[in-house]
Amino acid sequence: SQKIEQNSEALNIQEGKTATLTCNYTNYSPAYLQWYRQDPGRGPVFLLLIRENEKEKRKERLKVTFDTTLKQSLFHITASQPADSATYLCALDLRRGNKLVFGAGTILRVKS
Amino acid sequence: DTEVTQTPKHLVMGMTNKKSLKCEQHMGHRAMYWYKQKAKKPPELMFVYSYEKLSINESVPSRFSPECPNSSLLNLHLHALQPEDSALYLCASSQPRTGGIEQYFGPGTRLTVT
């Protein structure tokens, strides 16, 4: 069956450390993978997109990797801040009419 | 303007009511989406409109009826809902390119069916 798995437990880290979030998928062949941030009671906000033929993408303190052999994406936030605390969703872009399939998300808590 | 607006923010309706959710964007996007999100779950796609035509219906029950009256507006008409339909309903928009394009989400409408 098709599945997208993100860290099931909340990730608690200290301010200034690097947060690493995982997205694994099964029985999908995404052309792209996207990461979104969602705050409680709000809609998701787009962060980064990576193509299937790209290994790594960076934007400011954010970095995403995409390994289609392992069927895994890693999302890193360096020099994390309390304001980075949120739920982070990975989304598989199946290139089928703009359809995104979301993972359940990882709750990140950055403590000062 | 990179904002997607949704009204109302909150809606409480009985199972026999008819109500509508509204979504608007002025980014010139020609693809618009409805998602449903239950607590602690990911957003689930319901409908996609591309160039004001319904392109994806994810087998949503007919008590949900989408409408795209023009390129800036998207409605979701609700009728005879069930308590299990209570959720956050999110609207999103994007350019209509097939894949590799980010979606812009609105803040959502929190729907409670009593």
Which tens digit of pLDDT belongs to each residue from B66-92? 999 999 999 999 999 999 999 999 999
- What dihedral do alpha carbons A6, A40, A61, A106 form, nearest 10°? -10
Interface test with A, best of B3, B23, B102 (most A CBs within 10 A): B102
State the Cα–Cα distance between residues B68 and B41, nearest whole angstrom.
27
Work out the minimum CA distance from B12 to partner chain A, whole angstroms.
16
| Per-residue model confidence (pLDDT) at position A95 | 74
User: Could you tell me the pLDDT band of residue B2, with boundaries at 50, 70 and 90?
Assistant: low
User: Could you tell me the pLDDT band of residue A48, with boundaries at 50, 70 and 90?
Assistant: very high
State the Cα–Cα distance between residues A45 and A87, nearest whole angstrom.
11
List C-alpha distances in Å: B21 to A9, B52, B65, B78, B106: 33, 17, 10, 8, 12
